[in-house]
Amino acid sequence: MEADTDGALAKIAICEDERIVAMDIRTFLQRNGYDVVGVYASAESLLASIEATKPELVLMDIHLEGPMDGVEASAQLMERWSIPVIFLTAYADSPTIERAKRTQPFGYVIKPFDERELKTAITIGLYRSSMEQRLRRSETRYRGLFEDGLAAIFVAGPDGGIHEGNKAFRELAPGCAGLQDLIPDTDALAELWLALSGGSAYGPVELVLSAGKGRTVQALLSAAPLRVLEQGFYLFQAIDITERKSLQDQLNRAQKMEALGRLAGGAAHDFNNIITAILGYGKLLRDDLGDNPHIGAELDGIEDAARRAAILARQLLVFSRSEAGGSSVFSLGALILELERMLGRLIGEDVFIRMRPGEGDHVRADRSRIEQVVMNLAVNARDAMPKGGKLSLSTGRVALAAPVDGALGPIAAGSWAFLRVSDEGEGIDPAILPHIFEPFYSTKAPDRGTGLGLSTVAAIVRQADGHIELASELGSGTTFTVYLPCIDAEADAAAGIEK
């Protein structure tokens, strides 16, 4: 008795237009324990019943009644259902055999057939079919593991060409055809080939990979010779760690800023004590000396220097977040208009100031600190235009439909009040853009700045739950856009909140 791999009787269909021969085969099969699911005289009737009977093997005469012969029916059985066929034929001529071979039959039995020969052909055919099904299931399973893997997996040949890659690889580097396109670091590529050509595994190594269209990703790359293929093929795995690296860099920067903040806060408090003493002794000295114009001028210089030092100490305290401030509701547009005269004196006559206040730009923040943001950005713009130019300040409300990249991190979608400061200056070198908000970083001469201006701006904006967007082009100027959470001024007025 023949059974399939599940222990059930093997299901066989017979397609034979000679009724007596068909009945003999049916009797033989049933006597030997097979389940005959149908006997058909034409290929059309056989194909119409396949979905219902689902045979595991078909015994097929080549010459059948009807327009379709056994060879054509066999091709459809394999193509549509992967059902194997054993041909039963009285025709053993070469043209017929060659035509039948193209359908990849599982065997031939020549009429009149010997029962032992037929049983052997059926046994071998069923076993082969079972093994091929298991192979297909295994291939499907492992193809799924390969294709749906979270890591990017691909195969490269001896010439570096990429022969196959899974979905994650196609998403990581769409259209990438070779390792030279994927790994721009020629030294790293040479090191990889040296390891693989010697039969050794490579990695995991952290590399920058080209992701196409000018994009790059940080990845952990591993590779090893692929033993199951011919020599010279290699299996690669790349794990995208770009986000992990970005988060690690953010953490490192945050820890650095926290340490600098503690240092700056402690120094500023001590500095303030010294400044207070200098100003106090200066006042006592002025009282003792009376109205001496010569000494008075020198005391003015001492007090002026002390006051400038106090401003620096206050910036340090803001940067360290050690100085608490009160919040109020106000319009950014009204704020810049109030500062216009002061900015004119601060910036100088060579720079033309243009004010463009907008609507819906009410925020809740420490007003004095936002004033400092305006002043610092304006001074920064002035210094970028040593020969003069135009300084533009504008405010308003903007609705971001989707998150955008900001200088201090992603800016969430939604409504924001904005303060925009633009200059026509020299622009900022792209190489230094990542550093401009770092404390004590400055490209100015030592006597032109402390390196705290923009870091103070960043600290104040962060404390106000805001963001900064920066656009700069060498030779064309720079635009800083400060985004702050906007509020409904009328609703706040109704609630009695001070403007």
Give the domain CATH number at 130.
3.40.50.2300
258 and 380 assigned to the same domain: no
Sheet holding 202-212, edge to edge: 162-165, 152-156, 234-240, 215-225, 202-212
pTM for this model (two decimals): 0.44
For the chain, what is the domain count?
A: 4
User: CA Rg, the chain, in Å?
Assistant: 41
The HSE-up count of residue 51 (CA atoms within 13 Å, CB side) is 2
Query: Same domain, yes or no, for 188 and 49?
Result: no
337 pLDDT more than 80:
yes
Same domain assignment for residues 351 and 415: yes
What confidence category does residue 314 fall into, taking pLDDT thresholds of 50, 70 and 90?
low
Q: Which of 319, 337, 367 is the last residue of a domain?
A: 319
CATH label of the domain that carries residue 419:
3.30.565.10
pLDDT attached to residue 325: 60
Using the predicted structure, report yes or no on whether residue 414 has a pLDDT greater than 80.
Answer: yes
Q: Which pLDDT score, from 0 to 100, does residue 8 have?
A: 62
Q: Identify which of 215, 234, 216 has the alpha carbon closest to the alpha carbon of residue 226.
A: 234
**Residue-wise pLDDT tens digits, 343-389:** 887 788 889 999 999 999 999 998 888 988 998 899 889 988 988 89
Number of alpha carbons in the 13 Å side-chain half-sphere of residue 65: 8
Which has the higher per-residue pLDDT, 256 or 418? 418
The predicted model gives 150-154 an average pLDDT of: 85
Looking at the fold, whether 229 and 122 belong to one and the same domain comes out as: no
Residues 417 and 387 both lie in one domain: yes
Whether the per-residue pLDDT at 163 is higher than 70: the answer is yes
By residue range, what is the domain housing residue 305? 246-319
> Do residues 162 and 286 both lie within one domain?
no
Q: Is residue 289 part of a domain?
A: yes
Predicted confidence at residue 352, as pLDDT, reads: 92
Say which CATH number the domain at 253 has.
1.10.287
Separation of alpha carbons 33 and 56, rounded Å: 14
The answer to the question of residue 499 being in a domain is no
State mean pLDDT over 128-133: 82
> Domain for residue 5, yes or no?
no
One domain, residues 444 and 397: yes
Amino acid 7: pLDDT: 45
Q: What is the model's pLDDT at position 498?
A: 41
Residues counted in the chain:
499
- Is residue 94 in a domain? yes
The CATH number given to whatever domain includes residue 161 is 3.30.450.20
Same domain, 334 and 283: no
Q: Is the pLDDT of residue 450 over 80?
A: no
Does residue 217 surpass a pLDDT of 80? yes
Joined together, the tokens standing for residue 139 give: 């291939």
**Pair 36, 136 in one domain:** yes
Helix (H) / strand (E) element for 197: namely helix 186-197
Answer yes or no: do 430 and 348 share one domain. yes
Q: Is the pLDDT of residue 449 over 70?
A: no
Q: How far is 58 from 13, CA to CA, in rounded Å?
A: 5
On whether both 332 and 398 belong to a single domain, the answer is yes
Residue that is last in its domain, among 145, 176, 196? 145
- Give the pLDDT score at 440: 64
Mean pLDDT of 335-348: 86
- The verdict on residue 6 lying in a domain is no
Confidence of residue 264 (pLDDT cuts 50, 70, 90): low
Domain annotation covers residue 2:
no
SS3 139: helix
Q: Which of 97, 130, 145 is the last residue of a domain?
A: 145
pLDDT at res. 455:
82
User: Quick one: 176 and 285 in the same domain?
Assistant: no
